[in-house]
Amino acid sequence: MFEKILIVCAGNICRSPYAEKRLQQLMPSCDISSAGLVTEKSALTDSPVSAEAQNIAGTLGIDLTGHRARQVTAVMLSSCDLILAMSQNQIDTLARMFPESRHKVMLFGHWIGVSHIEDPHQKSLTVFQQVYSVLDRAATAWADKIGKPSL
């Protein structure tokens, strides 16, 4: 059983915070968190989600007001049972940076056949809506696959 799940994206201000909250709604007994991967975006650490992300998430029933971006660390990864990334490139980056955790990393879009979930940061409202729709479908698929106890 996957009890502790970490969702990773680039900056932890758009995709992973939304995916974290949606998966928490679907799997309330699990400990689900999120973090950012790209070191160039480390200046985003402790930043709130983007205004666009907050607004769109709110219309979809997700409150991101308390979220603060954080950078992924080896300690975070080692304490998780499952790590979900938004793209194969992010999986490859995680494998290079933290090879000891590679066996726990999968695509967030795996069960819906999506290998890359676009980063909507600084893009249009339409792109945000499309990305959050994909995140909703992917979260639902993960909850269906791992969120129900086996008989």
Find the catalytic residue in 14, 15, 70, 80: 15
| Residue 136 is a catalytic residue | no
Give the whole-angstrom CA distance, residue 63 versus residue 105.
Answer: 26
| Residue 68 is a catalytic residue | no
Closest among 109, 114, 92 to 7, alpha carbons compared: 109
Find the catalytic residue in 14, 30, 80, 119: 119
| Residue 119 is a catalytic residue | yes
Find the catalytic residue in 9, 14, 30, 80: 9
Q: Which residues are catalytic?
A: 9, 15, 119
